[in-house]
Homo-oligomer: A and B are copies of this chain.
Amino acid sequence: MRLNDTTDVALRVMIYAASANGRRFTIDQIVGAYGLPRSTVMKVVNALTQGRFLTAQRGRAGGLDLSRAAGENSVGAIVRHMETDFGLVECMRSGDGCAITRCCRLISPLVEARGAFLAVLDKYSVADIALAPADFGLSVS
Contacts and interface: CB of A to CB of B under 8 A. Distances in A.
A42 interface: no
A113 B117 contact: yes
Nearest to A92: B2
A4 B89 CA distance: 8
Given A34-B98, A100-B12, A131 B119 contact: no
Interface stretch (A51-59, A65-73, A79-87): A79-87
Given A1-B83, A83-B1, A117-B117, A8 B90 contact: yes
Given A1-B86, A75-B106, 13 more contacts: A1-B1, A1-B117, A2-B2, A2-B85, A15-B100, A15-B104, A33-B99, A35-B99, A103-B131, A104-B129, A109-B121, A116-B117, A116-B119
B85 A109 contact: no
Contacts of A97: 35
B124 A109 contact: yes
B1 A34 contact: no
A140 interface: no
A11 B106 contact: yes
